[in-house]
């Protein structure tokens, strides 16, 4: 019988929290990798770009791992560090375009070129290392090109199975075939329906990087079970639904966890008065004082990117409705869309010095923690939501979620007034359509509960705070998937020379008899 014990798992991604984070992606990579790392039989590594804002000198155990390795003729340096308990490789291209010397992670005109280069350079590094990999785990469009490159161009890298996680299908990485030529591929040869040709009927000459990841990977993991179903439909499939339906047998939805060491109100360095379930009321009052608002009702708010996906028009509506009903509204968010940002700037002017409103538009981790702690209700009116972390964080901080029931929100928030849901699962409020009227009706229900049924409200708050949203369960599911893939490959013998070949056992753990793989 085949028993896989030791596993070398390599993640390639654009983000890793807290040193390179713009949203959920970075948090998910660190949470999953840290949990995987806890099991000694897993050798876990993560490769991310070395962005210029990352101060290597401040990271623990930093060393220059490879001073110079080439990618399409350009030099690169690989740094290695232990961050948040994870073995992190930071890839620094010495390319004249200064790809990761931009003072930001995304939002450059040449984002596609930057991440296409990074994808190839990451594989050049793995080739140079020449150590067998059991699972190569890619995340989102940024590194999806690794999948076709691995199969077509880097056959010598010994990878048993390739996994792609889809954190958000909306972002696909569309480019021209010449962009692939630029890193030594024959772009035109990938422009076919069964390879990387974009599925949108208007863009037949475009390459779609995420499609490449989906097509060439052995398993595709959307970040919640409901989202895994939704993306098979034209409504949520962003024109990739047909491709996804074709390979539905390799799709498994796995809900994200959250890093409970980062998100713990009882040990939160950003809170002057940390609190737990028994002191939640006092803890909230203390942090609310810092905002100097004077509501007569509950504190409602959101911590979010202000992009169309997140329903900015509904967030504005929630703000107005909350004020009208006597609550206070806190919003931390910013928008990469100038028109949306301009609109929210106007709102800030309009509500300047308003005793019920606090609006802040930047990326501010400490403030995010304070806002979660201050809120009674966290609103997430997203039109679609692959998983969503803020509703989970909100619950751990004693804020009941009010959400549009879609994707991961549907999988984690269960309406407290829906008699068809078992009582022990009810933990917030949901609305089934992302419309102003549906959301407002739900807000009204939430306000009613807060003022008229305080004991029910508080028992729901406690239930949320007691929830286990840790990475333990999701990691078990990922490990189950990894093992299934490896077992399948070992049976079909399809994989490249495998790391369970004793002659390929390079890692010290592999040398130990009990850790050999059969
Ligand atoms: P997405 O990844 O789509 O942005 P998620 O809900 O999965 O949404 O994750 C959002 C994460 O980013 C949460 O940890 C949230 O606290 C954080 N976040 C979002 N906006 C800000 C901000 N302006 N400042 C600080 N943290 C933010």
Q: How far is the CA of 127 from the centre of ligand 1 (A)?
A: 34
Q: Are residues 404 and 381 in the same domain?
A: yes
Phi and psi for 360 in degrees, rounded to 5? -140, 130
> Is the shortest distance between the CB of 200 and ligand 1 below 6 Å?
no
Residues 409-429 have a mean pLDDT of 97
Asked if the structure places residue 311 within a domain, the reply is: yes
Q: For residue 235, what are the contacts with CB-CB under 8 A and spacing of at least 6?
A: none
User: Which tokens in the block code for residue 244?
Assistant: 């996804």
Asked if the structure places residue 503 within a domain, the reply is: no
Summarize pLDDT for 149-204 with one digit per residue, the tens: 999 999 999 999 999 999 999 999 999 999 999 999 999 999 999 999 999 999 99
Q: Are residues 479 and 457 in the same domain?
A: no
Q: Are residues 432 and 480 in the same domain?
A: no
Which pLDDT score, from 0 to 100, does residue 506 have? Answer: 33
Q: Looking at ligand 1, which residue's alpha carbon is closest to its atom 22?
A: 363
Q: Are residues 226 and 336 in the same domain?
A: no
> Which of 422, 450, 466 represents a domain boundary (last residue)?
466
Which of 16, 101, 12, 95 is CA-nearest to residue 53? 101
Query: Closest ligand 1 atom, CA of 390?
Result: 6
The DSSP code for 292 is: T
User: Which tokens in the block code for residue 381?
Assistant: 């009116």
> Is the shortest distance between the CB of 24 and ligand 1 below 6 Å?
yes
> Is the shortest distance between the CB of 332 and ligand 1 below 6 Å?
yes
* pLDDT reading at 503 higher than 70: no
Domain count, the chain: 2
* pLDDT reading at 460 higher than 80: yes
Which pLDDT score, from 0 to 100, does residue 113 have? Answer: 97
* pLDDT reading at 22 higher than 50: yes
Give the C-alpha separation, 286 to 100, whole Å.
41
* pLDDT reading at 513 higher than 80: no
> Is the shortest distance between the CB of 365 and ligand 1 below 6 Å?
yes
Q: Which long-range contacts (CB under 8 A, 24 or more apart) does 389-393 make?
A: 389/24, 389/27, 389/28, 389/256, 389/258, 390/302, 390/303, 390/304, 391/428, 392/258, 392/467, 392/469, 393/258, 393/263, 393/303
The position carrying tokens 């339906």 is 245
Summarize pLDDT for 333-385 with one digit per residue, the tens: 989 999 999 999 999 999 999 999 999 999 999 999 999 999 999 999 999 99
Which pLDDT score, from 0 to 100, does residue 3 have? Answer: 55
Asked if the structure places residue 497 within a domain, the reply is: no
Which pLDDT score, from 0 to 100, does residue 207 have? Answer: 98
* pLDDT reading at 315 higher than 50: yes
> Is the shortest distance between the CB of 434 and ligand 1 below 6 Å?
no
Q: Are residues 359 and 253 in the same domain?
A: no
Alpha carbon dihedral 32, 35, 38, 43, in 10-degree steps, equals -20
Which pLDDT score, from 0 to 100, does residue 509 have? Answer: 30
Q: How far is the CA of 22 from the centre of ligand 1 (A)?
A: 7
Give the C-alpha separation, 463 to 396, whole Å.
9
* pLDDT reading at 50 higher than 90: yes
User: Which tokens in the block code for residue 417?
Assistant: 């007034």
* pLDDT reading at 261 higher than 90: no
* pLDDT reading at 293 higher than 80: yes
Tell me which residue range forms the domain holding 73: 7-257+472-492
Which pLDDT score, from 0 to 100, does residue 131 have? Answer: 96
Of all helices (H) and strands (E), which one includes residue 403? strand 400-404
Q: Are residues 458 and 476 in the same domain?
A: no
> Is the shortest distance between the CB of 403 and ligand 1 below 6 Å?
no
Query: Closest ligand 1 atom, CA of 21?
Result: 12
Q: Are residues 98 and 231 in the same domain?
A: yes
Q: How many helices (H) and strands (E) does the chain have?
A: 17, 16
Q: How far is the CA of 261 from the centre of ligand 1 (A)?
A: 17
Q: Are residues 360 and 217 in the same domain?
A: no
Q: Are residues 96 and 239 in the same domain?
A: yes
Q: How far is the CA of 305 from the centre of ligand 1 (A)?
A: 6
Give the C-alpha separation, 74 to 515, whole Å.
38
Q: For residue 295, what are the contacts with CB-CB under 8 A and spacing of at least 6?
A: 326, 327, 328, 355, 356
Q: How far is the CA of 132 from the centre of ligand 1 (A)?
A: 35
Q: How far is the CA of 323 from the centre of ligand 1 (A)?
A: 24
Q: How far is the CA of 256 from the centre of ligand 1 (A)?
A: 14
Contact status, residue 9 vs residue 45, Cβ threshold 8 Å: yes
Ligand 1 pocket test: pick from 304, 374, 406 the residue with the most ligand atoms within 8 Å of its Cβ.
Answer: 304
Give the C-alpha separation, 19 to 10, whole Å.
19
Phi and psi for 487 in degrees, rounded to 5? -65, -45
Q: Are residues 27 and 125 in the same domain?
A: yes
> Is the shortest distance between the CB of 371 and ligand 1 below 6 Å?
no
Asked if the structure places residue 451 within a domain, the reply is: yes
Query: Closest ligand 1 atom, CA of 361?
Result: 23
Contact status, residue 142 vs residue 17, Cβ threshold 8 Å: no
Query: Closest ligand 1 atom, CA of 368?
Result: 25
User: Which tokens in the block code for residue 94?
Assistant: 């010495």
Query: pTM of the entire structure?
Result: 0.92
Asked if the structure places residue 136 within a domain, the reply is: yes
* pLDDT reading at 104 higher than 60: yes
Q: What is the CATH number of the domain that holds 395?
A: 3.40.50.2000
Give the C-alpha separation, 40 to 475, whole Å.
14
Which pLDDT score, from 0 to 100, does residue 218 have? Answer: 98
Which pLDDT score, from 0 to 100, does residue 504 have? Answer: 30
Which of 198, 199, 256 is CA-nearest to residue 227? 256
Which pLDDT score, from 0 to 100, does residue 52 have? Answer: 97
User: Which tokens in the block code for residue 179?
Assistant: 């962009």
- The SS3 of residue 399 is coil
Phi and psi for 298 in degrees, rounded to 5? -70, 165
Asked if the structure places residue 499 within a domain, the reply is: no
Q: Looking at ligand 1, which residue's alpha carbon is closest to its atom 2?
A: 24
Asked if the structure places residue 509 within a domain, the reply is: no
Which pLDDT score, from 0 to 100, does residue 262 have? Answer: 87
Give the C-alpha separation, 295 to 357, whole Å.
9
Q: Percent of the chain having pLDDT more than 70? A: 94
Q: For residue 78, what are the contacts with CB-CB under 8 A and spacing of at least 6?
A: 64, 65, 66, 69, 89, 90, 91, 92, 125
Q: How many CB atoms lie within 10 A of CB 279?
A: 14
Residues 124-138 have a mean pLDDT of 97
Q: How far is the CA of 370 from the centre of ligand 1 (A)?
A: 14
Q: Are residues 282 and 389 in the same domain?
A: yes
HSE-up of 164 (CA within 13 Å, CB side)?
Answer: 30
Q: Are residues 70 and 218 in the same domain?
A: yes
Give the C-alpha separation, 12 to 325, whole Å.
47
> Is the shortest distance between the CB of 257 and ligand 1 below 6 Å?
no
Which pLDDT score, from 0 to 100, does residue 419 have? Answer: 96
Which of 248, 388, 237 is CA-nearest to residue 305? 388
> Is the shortest distance between the CB of 363 and ligand 1 below 6 Å?
yes
User: Binning pLDDT at 50, 70 and 90, where does residue 23 land?
Assistant: confident
Which residue did the predictor score with more confidence, 191 or 511?
A: 191
Burial of 516 (0-12, 13-18, 19+ CB in 10 A): middle
User: Binning pLDDT at 50, 70 and 90, where does residue 491 land?
Assistant: confident
Asked if the structure places residue 69 within a domain, the reply is: yes
């Amino acid at each position: 019988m085949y028993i896989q014990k030791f596993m070398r798992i390599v993640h390639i991604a654009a983000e890793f929290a807290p040193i390179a984070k713009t949203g959920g992606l970075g948090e998910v990579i660190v949470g999953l990798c840290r949990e995987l790392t806890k099991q000694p039989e897993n050798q876990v590594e993560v490769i991310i770009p070395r962005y210029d804002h990352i101060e290597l000198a401040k990271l623990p155990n930093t060393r220059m791992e490879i001073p110079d390795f080439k990618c399409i003729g350009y030099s690169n340096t690989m740094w290695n560090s232990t961050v948040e308990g994870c073995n992190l490789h930071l890839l620094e291209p010495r390319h004249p375009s200064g790809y990761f010397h931009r003072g930001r992670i995304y939002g450059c005109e040449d984002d596609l070129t930057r991440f296409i280069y990074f994808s190839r350079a990451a594989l050049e590094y793995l080739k140079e290392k020449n150590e067998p990999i059991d699972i190569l785990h890619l995340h989102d469009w940024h590194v999806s090109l690794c999948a076709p490159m691995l199969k077509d161009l880097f056959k010598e890298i010994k990878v048993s199975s390739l996994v792609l996680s889809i954190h958000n299908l909306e972002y696909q990485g569309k480019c021209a075939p010449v962009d692939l030529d630029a890193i030594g591929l024959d772009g035109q040869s990938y422009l076919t329906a069964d390879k990387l040709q974009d599925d949108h009927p208007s863009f037949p000459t475009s390459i779609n990087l995420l499609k490449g990841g989906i097509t060439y990977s052995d398993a595709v993991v959307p970040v919640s079970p409901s989202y895994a179903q939704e993306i098979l439909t034209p409504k949520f499939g962003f024109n990739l639904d047909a491709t996804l339906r074709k390979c539905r047998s390799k799709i498994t939805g796995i809900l994200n966890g959250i890093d409970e060491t980062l998100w713990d109100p009882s040990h939160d360095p950003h809170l002057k008065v940390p609190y737990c379930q028994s002191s939640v009321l006092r803890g909230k009052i203390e942090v609310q004082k810092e905002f100097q608002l004077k509501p007569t009702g509950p504190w409602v708010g959101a911590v979010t990117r202000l992009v169309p996906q997140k329903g900015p028009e509904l967030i504005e509506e929630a703000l107005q409705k909350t004020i009208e009903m006597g609550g206070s509204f806190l919003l931390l968010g910013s928008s990469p869309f100038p028109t949306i940002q301009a609109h929210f700037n106007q709102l800030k002017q309009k509500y300047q010095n308003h005793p019920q409103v606090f609006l802040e538009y930047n990326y501010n981790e400490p403030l995010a923690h304070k806002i979660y702690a201050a809120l009674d209700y966290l609103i997430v009116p997203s039109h679609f939501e692959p998983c969503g972390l803020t509703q989970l964080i909100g619950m751990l901080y004693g804020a009941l979620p009010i959400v549009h029931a879609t994707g991961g929100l549907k999988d984690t928030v269960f309406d407290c007034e829906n008699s068809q849901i078992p009582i022990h699962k009810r933990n917030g409020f949901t609305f089934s359509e992302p419309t102003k009227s549906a959301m407002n009706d739900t807000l009204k229900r939430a306000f009613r509960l807060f003022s008229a049924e305080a004991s029910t409200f508080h028992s729901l708050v406690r239930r949320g705070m007691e929830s286990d949203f840790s990475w333990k369960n999701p990691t078990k599911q990922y490990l189950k998937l990894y093992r299934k893939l490896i077992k399948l490959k070992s049976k079909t013998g399809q994989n490249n020379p495998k790391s369970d070949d004793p002659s390929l056992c390079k890692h010290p753990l592999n040398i130990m008899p009990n850790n050999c793989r059969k």
